[in-house]
Amino acid sequence: MTILDSSAAWASATRMVAANRELLVAIAGVFYVLPGLAGAVFVPSPNMTSGMTEAQMLQIMQEYYANSLPALLALSLLPMVGMLTMLVVMLDAARPTVAQAIRHSLRALPSYFASQLLIALGILPLSLVITIILALFLPDRIAMSFAFGILLYPIMRTMLVGPVVAGRGERNPVAAIRESIRLTRGNAGRLLLFLGLAGFVFLVAYGLAMMFVGVVLVLMFKGEAQRLIGEGVAGVLLAVGYTYLVAMLAAVTNQLVAAPAGTASG
């Protein structure tokens, strides 16, 4: 069993981002920032007021998804292609161009999409069963929290499906899931701690940045311009965070594939 060295993985991830900075900026702009802005313009989120009842909010959300589902599905596929393209750029030793990486990611997209669908079909029924059982003994919200905590284990075990499909050329979705489970054997907790700490730091930085941006926007802009600029800034920050997440997954995959079994990598 290979032991994940999170310090080495983080150092490797930052090197990957620095070495491919120009390519990653272009990919992030096309596949993360632009779809986010398009969504803000063409399918903005519904307005919720504090006085609404749960039934009213549910009705609004149902109408929103019923009217916007095709556009939301199309916009959700673009970040998926962007993630796979980034993985190709960072994991392919041939150092492909952006165009070559996009073509590679488009070929990998059906396999990745199918693997995510299989994972969802496995995890969602399990989450419902766990929640129902826990709800017999605990309040509903606590039961849902416990169920989510339990489900983090299978989620962590399948986190490396993207790098396996994009970076290692696996086109069988079931085989990609099995390979992710094999690579993460004994490291689910370490992977959760690694990604969780990085996610927490990012959320704190994101929250502080958006607070500052919000104050500036309130002072300088009004109405729709204020909303769109805020969406644009948020999209850029989220694209940066997502780029580092992809780099972390690529670094973890490289480490777990390359390290001698039973030793700490790096």
Q: Residue with structure tokens 């549910």?
A: 58
Model confidence, pTM: 0.85
pLDDT of amino acid 259: 55
* Helix, strand, coil fractions of the chain, as percent rounded to 5: 80, 0, 20
Q: pLDDT tens digits, residue range 217-250?
A: 888 877 778 888 888 899 999 999 999 999 999 9
Contacts of 243 (CB under 8 A, 6+ apart): 17, 24, 28, 32, 86
The string of DSSP letters for 111-157 reads HHHHHHHHHHHHHHHHHHHHHHHHHTTS-HHHHHHHHHHHHHHHHHH
Q: pLDDT for 101-140, tens place per residue?
A: 999 999 999 999 999 999 999 888 888 888 888 888 878 7
Indicate the angle between helix axes 98-135 and 173-183, nearest 10 degrees.
70
Angstrom distance (rounded) from CA 101 to CA 82:
10
